[in-house]
Amino acid sequence: MSNIISKFSTVLIVLMLTTLSVNAAKISAYYDAPFATEKTLKSKLAKAGFDVLATYSPASKENLKVIVFTNKDLKANASKKTRGFAAIQRLMVDSEAKTVRVTNPTYWLKAFMQKDYKAGVDSKVKKSLGKVLGKLTATKDVLKEGDLAGYHFMMAMPYYQDMLTLKKGATVNPKKKIFEVKLANGSTLVGVKMSKNTENFINKIGVENALLLPYTVLIEEGNVYALHAKYYLALSYPLLSMGQFMGISSIPDAIERKLKKALK
């Protein structure tokens, strides 16, 4: 009997340590890659089976080119209720700084797929990105891996599921539409152009992570949803301090207003 109890205790301790290890492991939101031009990267992405959806300059900064892309695996994975934000990945070329930064699929899929995240769904995308971009170096923009699905900036701040319902039965004005991705479950993810003034917050908290733009909305079952900016900005800038957050305190409301104006 004592042997059984001892073995059970050992197994329990191992499970506890494994859980603690997973929760303690940190994962970066982005990778840095060797510099290449926008034209070269778009060509390589296409050859690797990705669909390039759009190129966007956040806050009208011509030196910054955010390339938004998807593929059949990302779209299939995101074709679940309120999971459409996971349908895309992004990379940004800074022609002045000569840098390339790309989203880490594991980080963003864990955050956006929530309980629907399945281990390994990011593997193919990551492998393909490695072939396209070369050596990928994790940035210091990290969160605990175990915190991603339930992430919020601090107490009383919104979670993923606290997304905004902007308007029922609306569509995005074609003049404000940057790209759209139609998903198998009938949902559509749309990239939205906001004003330069609204997007200028990147100058205050760091243009290196400006690939969070363009902002997206999800049209699903007659509703138009957007991630709450207090959630999305903090997730995109995991090193954001409280002081920096307070310095852009007016931006979440401004983003909501601009997204609503982009609808018709």
For 118-137, the pLDDT digits (tens) are 988 899 999 999 999 999 99
pLDDT band with cut points at 50, 70 and 90 for residue 139: very high
Rounded distance, CA 178 to CA 223, Å?
A: 19
Helix (H, G, I), strand (E, B) or coil at 125: helix
Section 153-161 average pLDDT: 93
Of the candidates 212, 213, 191, 202, the one whose C-alpha atom is nearest the C-alpha of residue 247 is 202
Residue 228 or residue 22, greater confidence: 228
Report whether pLDDT(10) > 50: no
Domain boundaries, the chain: 27-261
Residue 16 reports pLDDT greater than 70: no
Phi, psi at 129, each rounded to 5°: -65, -35
List, for residues 182-240, the tens digit of each pLDDT value.
999 999 999 999 999 999 999 999 999 999 999 999 999 999 999 999 999 999 999 99
Q: How confident is the model at residue 5 (pLDDT cuts 50, 70, 90)?
A: very low
CA dihedral 54, 58, 60, 61 (to 10 degrees): -110
Tokens of 260: 């609503």
Place of tokens 């990551």: 126
Query: Residue 45: which of 24, 66, 20 has the closest Cα?
Result: 66
| Residue 15 confidence (pLDDT) | 40
| pLDDT at 13 exceeding the cut of 50 | no
Q: What is the mean pLDDT of residues 82-110?
A: 98
What pLDDT shows up at residue 22?
A: 45
CA dist., res. 114 & res. 109, Å (int)? 8
Cα three-residue angle 197-96-101, rounded to 5 degrees = 80
What is the pLDDT, as a whole number, of residue 121? 87
pTM check: above 0.75: yes
CB atoms within 10 A of CB 234: 19
